[in-house]
Structure 1
Amino acid sequence: MATEVFLQVAILTLTLAIFFAIRHFPKQALTKHRIDHRATTQTQRHLTRATHLLSRAKSNPHKDQSQTLAKSAISEIEKALSLSPKDPTPHVLKSLALDLLGHKGSALRSLDLALTSPRSKSLAQRERVEAMVRRAELKLAVNKRRRVDSAVTDLEEAIRVSEEEGGVKTRAFCLLGECYELKGMREEAKKAFEEALNMERGSSVARQSLERLSLS
């Protein structure tokens, strides 16, 4: 009996405490919560549109139409950035759009922004790994000789933190092998390509690279 009374009193006390908290919760905090929620919803809406436009741009065989779609995607991404400037995802998508337009230097800068701390902390592990591998690709595309060491740093970190086998990790090992070749590190390059082939036996890039290295 005493236990039941105690539980009833406890429940009543908790109910009154919640009611009091709601009644006296600062209006500014409630308003901020509503604004933040609205901004997040609008940001996701713009990013969804941008992703759809980018998918269409990639699959469109006509260059003019593809570039028009990529530019429209950037317009949606810029709207998302104005609402959520600390979100790394718009920068990642913007990099993809800029690359489609042939602006590799600008695409690289967008990935740099996405991977800057603390912004990068909100990326999921796979997203971060993919961004680092993509950044390494862009570094090699923009200036292989000058950026090869920086690309190696990205790729080694991507391989270290990635938990998956194959896919993006295979690509990372292939790129690492290419970097080692550029640096004249033939044995390290072979090991990287062998790792890629062990993960994905169908990797033509890894197989052809190993054949080339064995013949030269």
Structure 2
Amino acid sequence: MAISVMASDIIMQVLFIFTLIFMFLWTLNIPQNLFNNFRYRDRSIYAAKRHFVLGADLLSRSRSTGDRNLAKSAAEHADKSIAINPNDAAVHILKALALDLQGFTTSALEALEAALSPLTAKSLSDGERSDALCKRAEIKMKIGGGGGGVEAAVVDLVEAVRLNGGNTAALRLLGECYEKKGMSEEALKAYVELLKVEPRSAFGQDAVKRLRSGSGSS
């Protein structure tokens, strides 16, 4: 009985101390500040997502209609979302796609570099990173033009395939890069992998047939 009373006293003392601490913090307006911070953060996250969704819709409509003004608006919404949450890689990718659609390849590459930076890339799944790497490789080839662009693209494409072996766009582009480098054997391997994922690919079938006939392989 005495132990029970002692336990009750200890609990009451602890509760009393916590009450005093809370009252002290309240006088400093800390609980209200914390609440305001959480509420502001929630609103900010909602606003960032809203701009992303609007931008993605505008990008989709721009692709289907060919209206570059829609792509410009998509990039603007992406910028607004980035201003709120710069660590969301998906928004940087949205911006890159919108800029590329307008023909601003250098700016699109910069946006993809931001998306794939260590700070933001962790927000992407392996499949999403693979797609982003493939797109970056495509843009590097546009900008590089010569062998340097191809070399840089191959690095991205090899990593893209490593992250997602079923990325048919990366496999096709990798094969094309190897062919430009004169690496027919590696190109053939890439196209064979492409056909494993997409057996009905006319491009893959033609490429394999062409390379095998050229090398005398059966």
1:56 aligns with 2:61: yes
Deviations 1:61-99 (A, max 9, x none): xx4xx1011111112111111111222122100111111
With 51-60 and 98-107 compared, the bigger mean Cα shift is at: 98-107
Specify the alignment match of 1:150 in structure 2: 152
| Residue of structure 2 in register with 1:46 after alignment | 51
Tell me: CA distance 1:188–1:38, structure 2 relative to 1, closer, same or farther (3 Å): same
Distance 1:112 1:22, change over 3 A: farther
Residues of 2 paired with 1:57 and 1:126: CA distance?
A: 24
Counterpart amino acid of 2:183? Answer: M
Q: Shift of the alpha carbon at 1:133?
A: 1.0
Equivalents in 2 of 1:108, 1:126: separation in Å? Answer: 19
Match of 2:3 in 1: none
Structure 1 residue 155 displacement after superposition: 1.3
Give structure 1 stretches of 5+ with no counterpart. Answer: 1-5
Counterpart selection for 2:210 from 187, 198, 212: 212
Matched residue, 2:168: 170
Q: CA RMSD in A?
A: 3.0
Which segments of structure 1 move beyond 6 Å, counting only runs of 4 or more?
20-23
Q: Which protein has the larger Cα radius of gyration, Structure 1 or Structure 2?
A: 2
Letter in 2 for 1:106: S
TM-score between both structures, scaled by the size of structure 2: 0.81
Matched, 1:69 2:67: no
Distance 1:210 1:22 in 2: 76
1:136 aligns with 2:137: yes
Partner of 2:200: 202
- Rounded to whole Å, the distance in 1 between the matches of 2:90 and 2:23 is 34
Distance 1:181 1:39, change over 3 A: same
Indicate conservation of the 8 Å contact 2:188/2:208, yes or no. Answer: yes
From the superposition, tell whether residues 68 and 92 of structure 1 become closer, same or farther in structure 2 (CA, over 3 Å): same
Q: Percent identity?
A: 38
Shift of residue 21, structure 1, vs aligned partner: 7.0
Pairs aligned (count):
205
2:32 aligned with 1:32: no
Cα distance, 1:199 vs structure 2: 1.3
SS of match in other structure, 2:81: helix
Q: Is the 8 A contact 2:62 2:70 kept in 1?
A: yes
Match of 1:171, SS state, is: helix
Partner of 1:100: 101
TM-superposed CA distance for 1:22, in Å, is 11
In 1, Cα distance between the equivalents of 2:128 and 2:83? 22
Q: What secondary structure is seen at the aligned counterpart in 1 of 2:182?
A: coil
Residue identity matched to 1:151: A
Q: What is the deviation of 1:215? A: 4.5
Q: Distance in 1 between matches of 2:96 and 2:46?
A: 22
Counterpart check, 1:118 vs 2:119: yes
